[in-house]
């Protein structure tokens, strides 16, 4: 077995026994990237020379007997909307094509404290707006299972790179499902943490009240390990939760006896692919066999979640992206004769079609005469969604749903139909509105050999129960052993 096929905890154990070096691991991944990147196109840019130097530095520290992290020397990939000092952070947009970040995001500081080795910045939908990674200015990422299909989005580069064994794990960001949905499409494990658990400092904002950085990994144990690294209070983020630091790996117990699982019927209605529904119901049956209590429940307010999400997200995007005007930040047009031309042409040329669409929609719902009718009403519905989750978690430990209504779709089939693309988020957006955590875990393949993922939703700051349930399912099934085919 090649080193790039191993999980992080397997690599960590081999490093601890001195069976391998960080340089060995990094060279293995560099070779894999050189082999598979031309097909998958997961990276916006790679930092392979620096990665090899950093790996060699870690090996020197270990040889010298210095006290280093148990994860020192493990490679990682970073979504390209997370600021990384001295490296381009483009958000896959022409607007930030040449932006080199002068500072590290908090999560990057934590990554560097552990001496992890960054292999590069990963492709995404422009400014994280999309569900397929087709809206990147630079390239369209392909799904490693079928190169003609999308990897999901907006963290499609992160999920595709993990699935293709080009990185052992990666960071993504999740505003309405952008970690979980590509994880479902690519057969990886993706967690959207509770809002406030992971600092947003240094994450280029899309919708500030919804964004959350999350880990994408090969298995549940690696996911818990990466959350251990990135979670924690940050005084530089006013929305960061000041709660006690936890070790999420302690929750990894192969036992769900007595666990109460609710299945919201609204997530299994019209538009859900029959094979996806069948696979997720098989998950419910498996949990019952393992000793959990499973029953149907209702969360009817989710019928309004998609509309609520797009009103709030677009409104916040309109505000957050106002700074990119050709003067203060980002791309500046060469075609201007006055100040108004600079603003108009810089934004017209610098932003892609989906970003413009969301800015226009957000500006509209915030405008005089429409604020009360749309934005204010959406915030009221948001409160109802939070209350609905709160009531359900009085009765259930976790909720079980599909991650996505479908498996990965063909490249180009939805990118010209925004409404159809937005429906890809229907199973995930309510979690961001409610601020609760959720994890996507592989649960099989459809008749075409494409991955299917199920979603577990937990109560605020109860990632431990999610990990326990996900870990137990993973240990009692063999779906993680499925590998991408790179079908052309």
Does the annotation mark 92 as catalytic? no
Measured CA to CA in angstroms, residue 237 lies from 38, 209, 234, 437, 442 at distances of 38, 12, 6, 19, 33
Query: Residue 140's closest CA among 155, 130, 128, 150?
Result: 150
Does the annotation mark 199 as catalytic? no
Q: What is the phi/psi pair of residue 315, to 5°?
A: -60, -45
Q: What is the phi/psi pair of residue 451, to 5°?
A: -65, 145
DSSP output for 313-360: HHHHHHHHGGG-SSSSSS---S--SSHHHHHHHHHHHHS-HHHHHHHH
Choice among 178, 199, 240, 440 that is catalytic: 178
**Are the C-beta atoms of residues 171 and 214 closer than 8 Å to each other?**
yes
Is residue 450 classed as helix, strand or coil in its secondary structure?
Answer: coil
Choice among 22, 92, 136, 154 that is catalytic: 154
- Classify burial at 304, counting beta carbons within 10 Å of its beta carbon; exposed 0-12, middle 13-18, buried 19 or more: middle
Q: What is the phi/psi pair of residue 486, to 5°?
A: 55, 40
Question: Which residue has tokens 């690519």?
Answer: 186
> CA-CA distance, 403 to 283, in Å (whole number)?
13
Does the annotation mark 136 as catalytic? no
**Are the C-beta atoms of residues 71 and 169 closer than 8 Å to each other?**
no
> CA-CA distance, 95 to 321, in Å (whole number)?
10
173 forms bridges with which residues in the sheet?
213
Query: Residue 385's closest CA among 428, 327, 350?
Result: 428
Pick left, alpha or beta for residue 261 (phi over 0 → left; psi -120 to 50 → alpha; otherwise beta). beta
Choice among 28, 36, 41, 79 that is catalytic: 79
Half-sphere exposure of 323 (CA within 13 A, CB side): 10
The residues assigned a catalytic role are 79, 154, 178
């Amino acid at each position: 077995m090649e080193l790039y096929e191993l999980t992080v905890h397997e690599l960590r154990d081999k490093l601890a026994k001195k069976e391998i070096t960080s340089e060995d691991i990094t060279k293995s991944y560099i070779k894999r990237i050189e082999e598979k990147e031309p097909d998958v196109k997961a990276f916006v840019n790679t930092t392979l020379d620096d990665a090899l130097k950093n790996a060699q530095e870690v090996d020197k520290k270990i040889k010298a007997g210095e006290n280093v992290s148990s994860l020192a020397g493990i490679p990682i990939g970073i979504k390209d909307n997370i600021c990384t000092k001295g490296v381009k952070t483009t958000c896959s947009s022409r607007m930030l094509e040449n932006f080199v970040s002068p500072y590290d995001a908090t999560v990057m500081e934590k990554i560097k404290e552990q001496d992890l080795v960054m292999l590069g910045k990963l492709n995404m939908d422009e400014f994280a707006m999309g569900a397929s990674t087709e809206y990147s200015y630079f390239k369209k990422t392909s799904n490693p299972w079928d190169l003609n299909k999308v990897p999901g989005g907006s963290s499609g580069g992160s999920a595709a790179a993990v699935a293709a064994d080009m990185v052992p794990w990666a960071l993504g960001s999740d505003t309405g499902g952008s970690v979980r949905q590509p994880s479902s499409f690519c057969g990886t494990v993706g967690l959207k943490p509770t809002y406030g658990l992971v600092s947003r400092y240094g994450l280029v904002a899309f919708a500030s009240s919804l964004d959350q950085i999350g880990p994408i990994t090969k298995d549940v144990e690696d996911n818990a390990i990466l959350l251990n690294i990135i979670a924690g209070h940050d005084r530089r983020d006013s929305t960061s939760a000041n709660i006690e630091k936890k070790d999420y790996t302690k929750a990894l117990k192969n036992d769900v006896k007595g666990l109460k699982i609710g299945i919201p019927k609204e997530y299994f209605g019209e538009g859900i692919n029959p094979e996806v529904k069948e696979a997720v119901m098989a998950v419910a049956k498996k949990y019952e066999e393992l000793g959990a209590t499973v029953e149907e429940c209702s969360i009817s307010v989710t019928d309004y979640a998609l509309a609520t999400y797009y009103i709030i997200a677009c409104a916040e995007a309109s505000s957050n992206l106002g700074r990119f005007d050709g003067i203060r930040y980002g791309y500046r047009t060469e075609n201007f004769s006055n100040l108004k031309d600079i603003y108009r042409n810089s934004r017209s040329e610098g932003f892609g079609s989906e970003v413009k669409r969301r800015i226009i929609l957000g500006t509209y719902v915030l405008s005089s005469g429409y604020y009360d009718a749309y934005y204010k009403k959406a915030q009221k519905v948001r409160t109802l969604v939070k209350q609905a989750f709160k009531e359900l978690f009085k009765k259930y430990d976790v909720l079980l749903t599909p991650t996505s209504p479908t498996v990965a779709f063909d490249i180009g089939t939805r990118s010209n139909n925004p409404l159809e693309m937005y429906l890809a988020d229907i199973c995930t957006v309510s979690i961001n509105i409610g601020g609760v955590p959720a994890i996507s875990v592989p649960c099989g393949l459809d008749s075409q050999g494409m991955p299917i993922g199920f979603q577990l939703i937990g109560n605020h700051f109860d990632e431990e129960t999610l990990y326990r349930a996900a870990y137990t399912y993973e240990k009692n099934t063999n779906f993680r052993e499925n590998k991408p085919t790179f079908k052309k």
